[in-house]
Every structure is written in C-alpha cells, then in structure tokens.
Structure 1
Amino acid sequence: MQVSNYPYEYVRCVDMEQIREAPQIQSHSLEGFIPLLSLTEGCGALLVILMIVWTGYYRQGFSWRSNPKLEFNWHPLLMTIGLVFLYANAMLLYRTQRNVRKQRLKLTHAGIMLFIILLMVIALVAVFDSHNLAPLPIPNMYSLHSWVGLTTVILFCCQWVAGCVSFLYPGLQTPLRASYMPLHVFFGIAAFVGAIASCLLGLNEKAIFALQSKYSAFVSEGILINFIGLLLVLFGGLSVYLVTQERYRRLSRPEDEVLLSG
C-alpha cells in the first residue's frame, strides 16, 4: 500500500476547494438552455404575428389621427413588440450572447431599451388620440389596465435612467454598481411582469368592449384574443424562468470590471 507524500492538511485543502467549486460548475450548466430559448423565441414570434393578424385583419388595420379608431390599433401592436418581445430579448441578452464583451452588451442592452421607450411613446400617443379625437370622446386613465400600464411605463423609464447612470457612467465606483445590481434585476423583472399583466387586462377589456355579446358566442376573433393571452403568459413565464436561473448566468470575466473607460 502506497502512502501519499502530501501532508494531510494539503490534501484536505484541495478536497475542500473542489467541493466549493463543484456547485459553481453545476450552477452554470447550459443543459436545456437552447431548447428552452428556442421555445421562448418561437412563442414570442408567434405572439407578434398573431397580434399583427388581430390588429391588421380583425380590427381593420392602421391609420393615424385622420381615423382615431384605427389609430388605436398601433397601441396593442407596438406595446406587444416593445414592452413584451423586445424587453424579454433585452433581458436575455446576457444569456444568449455569452462570448461578447460585457461593455458591448451593456451598450446594446441600453440601446434596445431606448428603442422600446420610443415605441411606448408612439403607442401612448395613439391610445390618447383615439380617446380624445373620437366623435364621442372617451375618458382617459379610468380602467385598471391603464393604471397598471402607466405604472409599468414609469417603472421601465426609471429603470432605464438608473441603469444608465449605474452601469454606463465610467466614474461610478464598482461597489456601488455591485450593490445596485440586485435591485436592477428585481425591478427589471417586475416591470416585465407588469407589462404582461397590463397586456392581459387590455386584451380582456378590448374583447368585452369590441365584441360585447359575440364574445360569449366563441367567435373567431374572441378565440384569437384568448389564444394571444395564453401566449403572453407562456412567453412571459419562459422568459422569467430563463432570466432567473442561476445556472444559465453568463460567467464573469476579468475584463468585465473595465467599463467604458477601457
């Protein structure tokens, strides 16, 4: 029987180091990531397509202030594209682009969020115009959908400003960025969940007002609206799952500490 020449304390130290590293290796396993991501993106693409079909075909297409009724159709379409589909992909950017330098990821993430704000502004103008310019003006901000939606928009914009200051301002100290990161992640997910909830409330409200008694008769438009709602839940749930799973997190690199200053 051969006896090891290494001291007992050294062997125990190596064993403990392996034990500490094992959970970290396991927590960053990408098993199942690609199938789940493919399913998520497929649901998101189908969601956008069905929203285009609903607003373009069943709701008679798009216009601007010359036809306030059709101007409204920009609201659900742009909110779905921006505050749901693009928002989810912006959150998943750090999981899908694992080999891109973090500096570029931060700029891309902020740029997508800024584009979403632009889409939100257009969508909000469209819905307020459709209320105010209608032959019989419709009151604004009275429904639960509008309250939840506006709260989500405000939270999203605050998140974007705070994120730019915290992660893109070169002079900010690293400990401050690190301490804000959990809050940024939490409120980012909260805003996304709020966007899903607002879309579901808006769909149900529009279905009841536009279809009225026909909604309970299982007309094709009502079934389509319900199916869009189910896709919103599925896409939102899958997106949150991928974002919150620690094992899918992008591994840190030494150059990640270098922010725009290089």
Structure 2
Amino acid sequence: MLGYGRKFLNHNFMKHQKPSFSFIAKPFKNMTITAATALALVTGVSTEVEAAIINFDADTYAFSNPNIYTPQLPDTGGKCFVEDGFNVEAFSAQGIGTPAAFYSDGAHFHASNSYEAQHYNDVDRLLGIYLTLVDGGTFSLESLDYQLRENSDAIAGYSTDDTKILISTTFDPTEPVLGQFTEVSLGNQLALPFQTLNLTEFEDITQVYIASSGDVNFDNITANSIPEPSSLVGLLLVRSMGFCFRRKESQR
C-alpha cells in the first residue's frame, strides 16, 4: 500500500535531482505493443512466427547422438538438440525432494519418435524435457501430444491410479515435485492412441519444464516464439510501407 509523502519538497533538493522517467516506461511499452497489434490488424502481419513443432525424429535424436549445443541446466545437464530455433534438453533430476538433489548428465533421448518420460521405477527421480529458445527470447507453449504407456510406477507424492502430466516454468529439484507443477490428469487407461493437450496458460515465457508422474510418451510439442516489441514494430513499419505503396499503386 502506498504511503503519503510530504506535499512540498525542498527546492534545492529538487534542483540537484536528475529527472526519472521510469514511470512512463511500462505505459510506453504497452502503447508500443498496442500500436504494433493495431498495425498488424491493418496490414495483415502476424505478431507471432510460424509454430515450431518438436517431433523427436528417431534418426536424428537417438540417445547416442552428441550434444548439438551446450546444456543449460546445472551439473552439465543431459543430451540436447536444436529444432526450429528451440533448445530441447533432456533432464533427469535425481534425489528429488532432498538437499542432495542434482541433475544427472545421463539424461537422454531414446530412438522412438517420441520422448519417453519416467521409463524406470525410481520414485525419487524425475525425467523430463527442458525447453528454451536459442536466442533466449520469449515464447508460448501451445500444445503437445501425449500417450500413457504404463501405470505400474509413480514418483513420490503421486499415485498410479491417476498419472499426471507436469508442466512448469520453474523447478527446484531439492523440493518435492508435488505443488511445483501445473498438473493434467490422464487417469490410468492404457492402450489409447496419442491425444493432443492444448495449452493456454504458458504464454510469454522464457523456459518450460515438461514431465510426468508416471510413464508417458510426449510428441509434437508445439510452441510459438514471440517477437520483441521493437523488432515487431520495425517489421510492421516495413510491411505497412509496402502495404501503403501497393494501395497507392492500385489507385492510379
């Protein structure tokens, strides 16, 4: 809650202070985004790039492949590759929920045309995927395909009666998994084909962890990168100039 200051300030104090314009920075940024969006509607320019789809092609992402980029997670991280501008890193958090928890450098991808999460019976180890953009920008997680593979095991805090998909923009392996992730219930019915989970709450993010409480396959992870306002305005101005020129030519 804001408190009330003095109504009048000392003149000499004011004279030696450099004016601050931080109070207009956020409104200006919002105006920039609003203007860019309005301009996009006029010119037909999309404010997001074409969706990237991470599909875990077995010929490219087998567990034996060398890393294509430097892992981003602590403790050297696991295997990783780049697809459609995204860093895709396998993680294996071991000893979860204890002060000694760590990311194992043994995390990897299987040659199975999908990512196999929790393919083991250790209750204190969480396997998953860590996504970031190569350029460090922001993105939105749109959807993913999933398939419940087994329901015989579950990590600590969860039941085999209702396997969960786990998604979060943050994860601390020294804390219990329960309570750190957004959870999506899958039940326990096996032998179903891949299904698509559409997502709306993971927008304007810089990283995301995708995992599960039990044995789940993931495939076709879809995400859109979000241009910075300054880049978007520049692109829209160039496009709008072309739009206006074409319109002027058509009126001749």
- TM-score by length of structure 1 reads 0.20
Q: RCO higher in 1 or 2 (8 Å CA, sep ≥ 6)?
A: 1
Counting strand residues as a fraction of each chain, which structure ranks higher? 2
Normalised by the length of structure 2, the TM-score is: 0.21
Q: By percentage of residues, which structure has more helix?
A: 1
